[in-house]
Chain A
Amino acid sequence: MHDFVANLPQTLDQVIQSVPLFKPELALIGAFLAVVCATLFIDKHWKQSSFMIYIGGLLISFPLLCQQLGQPDRGFFDMLIIDSFSVYARMLLLFALLVTGVLIRQHFSEKPTRRPLGEVYSILLAAGLGLHLLTATSNWLIAFIAIETVSISSYVLVGYFSEHKRQSEAAMKYVLFGSVSAATMLYGLSLIYGFTGNLDFTAAAHLQGLMAAPVALCTVAILFIFTGIGFKLGFVPFHLWTPDVYEGAPTPITAFLSTIPKIGAIVLFSRLVHAWLPTPFYFSEVTYLFLVVVAIVTMLVGNLIALRQQNIKRMMAYSSIGHTGFLLMTILAISNNNQEVLLFYLTVYTLMNLATFAFIDAIECTTGSVELSDYTGLGKKFPLLFTCFTIVGISLVGLPPTAGFIGKLLVFTAVFEVYQSSKDILFVLLLIIGTLTSVISLFYYFKIPLFSFLRKGDDESPVTPLNNRLAALLGIGITVLLLVLGLFPNIVLEFLR
């Protein structure tokens, strides 16, 4: 205890010095508190106040984040890592949060609820804060707090409205599954802490502790930890909640769930894997084999089950599971000098999913249905929307001339390069499964144009005007962005390098 007291002044000094590194997150915290107050006091007089503060907080956080560009630094006793990887990931997070915020506002102005919307924005900001931390740490304590912050926020987001049976059921499944995963992860972390006496998973002491740990217990601990991360990412066998929650949650919340938590979790996972893989010891082998097997199984399960889905939100859930498998393969293929491959694929994936859910939301607000069979004949009524929807589908498959193609091309190139240098047969397997599942995905994404354009609907029904135009416009804007990125990928790639 005396050692601790003697070090106290230096400790405090370092904390104070590190505070400027935390500015983008402080902006989010400030906006969070302001939104809570605005919901209580100002929303009665001016309904938009909480939404405006939400947007304002994100817009203030962005330039503060830009200041950190190209200035790698560490703060709070190496608990906070500022590097280009985390800065780009956080920029993407802020953009995605902005889009989801707008989608939520539009969705609930079409379908008013009795619950105050302001609280949703504050919870979104809390989730954003957790994800910011997740991308900028290699410390288990911060990672666990961040994962729990994101999880609890997501439970609330899914369960907040609970307007019909399905929504409350989805929320219950989510909260129970999520809490069990978090508890399991915590137990794994406690074992890892026991082996190493250190909570920073990149530290030398941590790796040495893992090397000396007993084989069986070490395997159990690692698998337990992967349970927690696997739940956030939604890879097999921890994907069971995904389809139910995606289907049950309101559409803009599904847009949030399918993109934003994955950005944070994948960045953390990639840091973890790159810290643990390079050693020749047992725990590296476990990590490596686990990752390869899970990537393959996830790609296959996600894409194959998606084939027989009739509900488009369920289909997108399985599609996002498939994409998670693809992201795991990307993690294996990249090293420290080509992180832009992962970031580019992540950006494209986020854009594609946000656009898809914007379209689904616009159609849901107009026709009130999310079943694929109800899309019959809608292509004639909303030609522009469904053309763009089809383009996003093409991008999700990974065909030119869209950004999805460039993303997949970069990943496959990276995997092939690793194979050439390591001659590891598992990478060929990954490559084959990756291509095969891309082909499989063609069949279910093309159900969208199949139903909307090719199947004849009843032409008698009057042409209803499209509700929720802003969501549709947002989706169209993102589609244009996807095409531009597909034709000129260097705009973003240069920036990410």
Chain B
Amino acid sequence: MITLTHFLVVSACIFCIGLYAILAKRNAIMILVGIELMINAAILNFVAFGKYDKLHYGGQIFALFAIVLAAAAVAVGLAIILNVYRHYKTINPDHITDLRD
């Protein structure tokens, strides 16, 4: 029997994996992947909780919007990273440090 707790544990694990991918920051694309994992963890939570909200379906609706917004943000992010690659010939954030105090 799969209960709500199982979903929450899985989503917490996915969130942490995403966070690790971001904090390790070897590559801008990997950071985007990490962001996507974090968003998907949240979406999983929303759908799992949405089971108990039969009247408004708030969780399901939120999940749908979150998927669309994540896709839009990632599309913009990839375009910007492509631009950075054209200028720097690298996408390792540690090597892109022209702007600093």
Contact = CB atoms under 8 A, between A and B. Distances in A.
A148 B69 contact: yes
A311 to B, nearest CB: 10
B99 A179 contact: no
Given A182-B73, A183-B42, A187-B42, A168 B83 contact: yes
Main SS class of interface, A = helix
B99 to A, nearest CB: 4
Contact of A165 (B22, B31, B57, B87): B87
Given A175-B80, A199-B58, A165 B42 contact: no
B59 A193 contact: yes
Interface stretch (A24-32, A86-94, A151-159, A294-302): A151-159
A184 B57 contact: no
Interface in A268-286: none
A169 B84 CA distance: 6
A381 interface: no
A172 B90 CA distance: 12
Contacts of B2: none
A140 B63 CA distance: 12
Nearest to B50: A193
Interface residues of A, number: 46
Interface in A234-249: 243-244, 247-248
A193 B79 contact: no
A176 interface: yes
A176 B77 contact: yes
A494 B52 CA distance: 48
Contacts of A248: 99
A470 interface: no
A242 to B, nearest CB: 11
Given A148-B72, A155-B76, A169-B98, A197 B53 contact: yes
Contacts of A169: 84, 87-88, 96-99
A173 to B, nearest CB: 7
Given A173-B99, A187-B42, A194-B45, A179 B83 contact: no
B47 to A, nearest CB: 9
A180 interface: yes
Nearest to B4: A194
A217 B59 CA distance: 19
Interface string A173-204: 10110111011101101110110011100000
A59 to B, nearest CB: 29
Given A166-B98, A184-B38, A176 B49 contact: no
B28 interface: yes
Given A145-B69, A159-B83, A183-B38, A198 B88 contact: no
A155 B81 CA distance: 11
A248 B100 CA distance: 10
A4 B58 CA distance: 13
A13 interface: no
A180 B46 CA distance: 18
Q: Which of B18, B42, B61, B98 has the most CB of A within 10 A?
A: B42
Interface in B30-83: 31-32, 34-35, 38-39, 41-43, 45-46, 48-49, 52-59, 61-62, 65-66, 69-70, 72-74, 76-77, 79-81, 83
B101 interface: yes
A191 B11 CA distance: 11
A145 B80 contact: no
Interface string B1-30: 000000010010001001000100000100
A181 to B, nearest CB: 10
A43 to B, nearest CB: 22
A159 B53 CA distance: 40
Contact of A151 (B11, B73, B93): B73
Given A159-B79, A169-B99, A243-B101, A141 B38 contact: no
Q: Which of A141, A183, A186, A189 has the most CB of B within 10 A?
A: A183
Contact of B35 (A145, A155, A179): A179
Given A144-B65, A155-B80, A186 B39 contact: yes
A162 interface: yes
A193 B63 CA distance: 12
A164 interface: yes
Contacts of B74: 179
A53 interface: no
Q: Which of A164, A176, A187, A194 has the most CB of B within 10 A?
A: A187
Contacts of A152: 69, 72-73, 76
A145 to B, nearest CB: 6
A141 B62 contact: yes
A194 B45 CA distance: 8
Contacts of B65: 141, 144-145
Interface of A: 3-4, 140-141, 144-145, 148, 151-152, 155-156, 159, 162, 164-166, 168-173, 175-176, 178-180, 182-184, 186-187, 189-191, 193-194, 197-199, 243-244, 247-248, 305, 314
Given A173-B93, A179-B73, 18 more contacts: A3-B55, A144-B69, A148-B72, A152-B73, A159-B80, A165-B87, A168-B86, A169-B97, A175-B73, A176-B77, A179-B74, A180-B31, A183-B35, A183-B39, A186-B39, A187-B38, A193-B49, A197-B49
Name the 6 nearest CB pairs between A and B, nearest first.
A190-B45, A183-B38, A186-B42, A244-B99, A187-B42, A194-B49
18 contacts: A152-B72, A159-B79, A162-B83, A166-B98, A166-B99, A172-B83, A176-B93, A179-B74, A182-B73, A183-B42, A186-B39, A186-B66, A187-B42, A193-B46, A198-B58, A243-B101, A305-B101, A314-B101
